Amino acid sequence: MLNESITAVKGIGEETAASLAEMNILTVRDLLEHFPFRYEDYRLKDLEEIKHEERVTVEGKVHSEPSLVYYGRKRSRLTLRVLAGRYLIQAVVFNQPYLKNKITLNDTVTITGKWDQHRQIITVSQLHVGEANRAHDFEPVYAVKGKLTVKGIRRFINLAFSQYGDQIEETLPVEYLQAYRLMNRKDAMKILHFPTGPNDLKQARRRFVYEEFFYFQLKMQALRKIERENSRGIGIHYVLQELMNFIDSLPFSLTDAQKRVVNEILADMKSPYRMNRLLQGDVGSGKTAVAAIALFAARTAGYQGALMVPTEILAEQHAQSMESMLASFNIRTELLTSSVKGKRRREILQQLHEGEIDILIGTHALIQEEVEFNHLGLVITDEQHRFGVNQRRVLRQKGESPDVLFMTATPIPRTLAITVFGEMDVSIIDEMPAGRKAIETYWAKPDMLDRVLGFMEKELVAGQQVYVICPLIEESDKLDVQNAIDVHSILSHHFAGRYHVGLMHGRLHAEEKETVMSDFSQNSIQVLVSTTVVEVGVNVPNATMMVIYDAERFGLAQLHQLRGRVGRGDKQSYCILLADPKSEVGKERMKIMTETNDGFLLSEKDLELRGPGDFFGRKQSGLPEFKVADMVHDYRALETARNDAAQLIQSEKFWKEDEYLLLRNYLQSAGVLEGEKLD
Ligand code: ADP
Ligand code: MG
């Protein structure tokens, strides 16, 4: 049985088992599924193809007797000349004096090491007398911990394989194995651990990539089906005519994309299933209007709504814009954040409970236990990737199974959307309201600050306002970055007597923040120096310029998000990235920012350059961990697996036939079939 403890493997004792346990390797199966994270490539190469300082393995004939020199107390250097192809090179081996007596003139040797092209020397890391062993072209490298070594792990896996190899069973339905010509599990596993050649390795990997994605998607798709069909959702029977009146009252007509997503959302709300939908749309694409329409619709059916955002500033802004849209329809909106305290808070909570408040807007304070609605029908969260997976769950559990809509302005690359949010339906606003001017973005080196200040002055003279963004609040010894407080004092001095410069950062009290923000939106502050707290949602259309200090410190998606604070009116807007990136990737990132305003494109790039963990922030990401597969590079397989899993879950045969028993058991053990939600 593969589920036996690894101590059942002959040759693995208690001590080894304890070490392996530290890496969560407890059973034989765990050990067999501890795959290498890379391979050492010992294929023979022609030195002609090898660049300076690259690692290489060559075969050659010994051309000179090795000479040995001792130096220091225990150090030695062995030098020999080797004829490898057309190259007569020098091989240098450190601290292996015993090799001298093993090597004789005209022997064939296989050496691996770093190639110094200029001096034609290989500094040897491995020398083997004799021809290259083709069976060892690829050597697996494993993650290790504590006392364990890569060699040790190889040995343990070898032991496990010879004893248990025959028990490795197929885990994928035969239809997919055939359709994609996938290798069977046992063979593929063997090849991953004991590679026989590049092509085999590729095929073995392909099989496990599909397997990992398929199992993951099966879970997500099952969850989605169960959430949809078995949830005690509510059908929200909104009053169409009233809703039309509201939409007509908006100061603009909806874009086609807005209309489409509104219809998708309304269909979910009307259905007896519980909505679990993600709404994606670039900054400024008009998600707030869509949210207002959905909340209005719920209200016409007699339900309360909640709008949840990650920061107080944003909550206040949303509260204002909702109020301005909804008040004339006699809909009562209220703001609840952690700074609403005492009597006022008690009043709001009571009125909410009694159903006098129609729409509650606030921060995560909304999901605290004490907040009780009367008949909550719809919950909307904005900028939701900032909420953790668990907060998403708590939210869904509030009230009488309300419909839930998650909005995000960070365009999430398709690959991530279908993994992290694989259990959700997705709506996309892929169109900007007409007449929006693209923000012109420039990259400037810090020594061009004078010109940037001149540029700022021009905008200010024209009556516009400017954001200046800094990565940190205060000076830090560790990071050589401009900080908001310093920059604020420099700019205050520079613009003294002409323009007001405000300061905004996360350590201000809520009231202070509110004052600064409202001063800025009323144009009594013209220049706002701020940390990234203004990142989300803040809307001051008269601000037409943003200067971002140390822009290389931010991710592309975040820069784009920040940049979205300007370009919200009808004037041309500008974004200046002050940055002096040292690396090529850093330069590349700045360049991309100046070249495109397409948030989806940027987020794909960001994902590519930084990897999925960094994209969301590792801790709260809820990203699944795959052993073999890579979400970015294998995304085609991910999409295929998703479609296959979705179809299979919807089919009748899946729930009946024996062939799928293994998969059903898997869903059961993953807690999906009990209707439990996943972490
Ligand atoms: P998002 O929340 O997606 O970043 P907002 O909903 O804040 O975008 O919309 C940005 C601005 O565009 C707001 O001033 C809003 O009034 C306006 N707007 C929204 N939809 C339209 C539309 N269809 N036509 C014109 N302007 C729109
Ligand atoms: Mg918004």
Overall average pLDDT of the 29-51 stretch = 90
Which ligand lies nearest to the CA atom of residue 280 in the structure?
Answer: 1
Q: Is 376 helix (H, G, I), strand (E, B) or coil?
A: strand
Comparing C-alpha atoms, which of 358, 368, 360 is closest to residue 338?
368
The string of pLDDT tens digits covering residues 462-481 is: 999 999 999 876 666 555 55
583-598: average pLDDT: 90
Q: Is the beta carbon of 25 within 6 A of some atom in ligand 1?
A: no
Which residue's CA is minimally distant from atom 23 of ligand 1? 254
Per-residue pLDDT at 400: 65
133-137, 227-231, 373-377, 672-676 — which is least confidently predicted? Answer: 672-676
Tens-digit pLDDT profile for residues 305-354: 999 887 777 888 889 889 999 989 999 999 998 888 899 999 999 999 99
Q: Please state, as a whole number, how many other Cβ atoms lie within 10 Å of the Cβ of residue 265.
A: 24
pTM beyond 0.85, yes or no: no
Q: Ligand 1: which of 253, 285, 405 to mutate, most ligand atoms within 8 Å of CB?
A: 285
Q: How far apart are CA 407 and CA 238, in angstroms?
A: 21
Question: Taking Cα atoms as reference points, which of 463, 436, 453 lies closest to residue 572?
Answer: 436
Q: Is 83 in the pocket of ligand 1 (CB under 6 A)?
A: no
Residue 74's pLDDT band, with cuts at 50, 70 and 90, is confident
Q: What is the pLDDT of residue 34?
A: 94
Pocket test for ligand 1, best of 280, 288, 405, 534 (most atoms within 8 A of CB): 288
What does pLDDT average to over the chain? 87
- The reported pLDDT for the residue numbered 677 is 40
Strand order in the sheet with 359-362: 333-336, 359-362, 304-308, 376-381, 403-408, 276-281, 425-429
Q: Residue 649, class by beta-carbon neighbours within 10 Å (0-12 exposed, 13-18 middle, 19+ buried)?
A: buried
410 CB near ligand 1 (under 6 Å): no
Higher pLDDT, 577 or 609: 577
Cα of 16 to ligand 2 centre, how many Å?
Answer: 54
- Looking at residue 396, its pLDDT comes to 62
117-131, 182-196, 269-283, range with the lowest pLDDT: 269-283
pLDDT of residue 613: 58
Atom of ligand 1 nearest to the CA of 564: 4
Percent of the chain with pLDDT over 70: 90
- CB 504 less than 6 A from any atom of ligand 1: no
Characterize the bridge pairing of strands 359-362 and 108-116: unpaired
Of the pLDDT bands very low, low, confident and very high (cuts 50, 70, 90), residue 545 is very high
Two tokens, residue 146? 């504590």
Residues less than 5 Å from ion ligand 2, measured at CB:
288, 537
Task: State the average pLDDT over residues 170-198.
Answer: 95
Predicted confidence band at 620 (pLDDT cuts at 50, 70, 90)? very low
How much is the average pLDDT of 262-271?
Answer: 94
140 pLDDT more than 50: yes
Q: Which residues fall within 8 angstroms of residue 552, CB to CB, at 6 or more apart?
A: 579, 580, 581, 586, 589, 590
Residues 662, 211: Cα–Cα separation, whole Å: 13
Q: Give the domains, in start order, of the chain with CATH numbers.
A: 43-129 (2.40.50.140), 240-429 (3.40.50.300), 440-596 (3.40.50.300)
Non-local CB neighbours of 470 within 8 Å, separated by 6+ positions: 481, 482, 483, 484, 487, 529, 530, 531, 549, 550
| Ligand that comes closest to the CA of residue 314 | 2
Alpha-carbon span 325 to 331, nearest angstrom: 9
* Residue 97 phi, psi (nearest 5): -60, -30
What pLDDT is stored for residue 247 in this prediction?
Answer: 96
Dist. CA 40–CA 126, nearest whole Å: 12
β-sheet with 465-469: strand ranges across = 440-444, 574-578, 543-548, 465-469, 527-530, 501-504
Ligand 1 atom with minimal separation from the 250 CA: 16
Is residue 455 within 8 Å of residue 576, measured between CB atoms?
yes
* Whether the CB of 256 sits within 6 Å of ligand 1: no
Tell me the best of 246, 247, 250, 252 to mutate to test the pocket of ligand 1, counting ligand atoms within 8 Å of each CB and taking the most. 252
Bridge pairing between strands 108-116 and 121-129: antiparallel
